[in-house]
Amino acid sequence: MNNPPVIGVLALQGDVREHLIALASADAVARPVRRPEELAEVDALVIPGGESTTMSKLAVLFGMLEPLRERVRAGMPVYGTCAGMIMLADKLLGGREDQETLGGIDMIVRRNAFGRQNESFEASIEFAGIADGPVEGVFIRAPWVESVGAAAEVLATYDGHTVAVRQGNVLATSFHPELTGDHRVHAYFVDMVRAGS
């Protein structure tokens, strides 16, 4: 892919603007995605942090759930942070019974595993495949990965818990790299998109 990849940010709820900035700094064309026709125009997608139950309800309301699932199944590169990680899980612990996910990574994710809003924290995370030292992770009501299947690769852990996973074209982190000004995780994802094109 010689031209910059066009990467959407699911703009139903959450920290959309920060992802748009981080993607642009990693030499991608970034645009918000709210509708199926906008999803059809992007090469890849970021699912931001936010509130995962609200996000899944809005995806249904906006007619996005099935188009998202279809693109993920078809191999579109996707990166989910925090609530986005929850959306990409095949199985969920601590979610509402009616909570929908997209799937994409063979993992079991526990919602709010690191605690409530007032227990949010930052930590340095060693991230496989990213050079120049650890990345700074912002954990806000963050999930963690309880277990992964054979096809999924653990890229980072914190305090004994898996916090970054990749399976093929799908990447997920429990933390928010977009809030730190360090855009290496986004650059890693943009490289994934370029390699898969």
The tokens describing 141, both together, are 């009501």
CA pair distance 114, 122, nearest whole angstrom: 12
Catalytic residue of the set 19, 100, 178, 183: 178
Helical packing angle, 16-25 and 184-196, nearest 10° = 70
Catalytic residue of the set 19, 82, 183, 186: 82
The tokens describing 151, both together, are 């096809």
> Is 178 annotated as catalytic?
yes
β strands within 27-128, DSSP E: 29-33, 44-47, 78-81, 89-93, 105-110, 121-125
Catalytic residue of the set 18, 19, 100, 176: 176
CA pair distance 81, 50, nearest whole angstrom: 9
Vertex 190: Cα angle to 152 and 136 (nearest 5): 75
Active site amino acids = 82, 176, 178
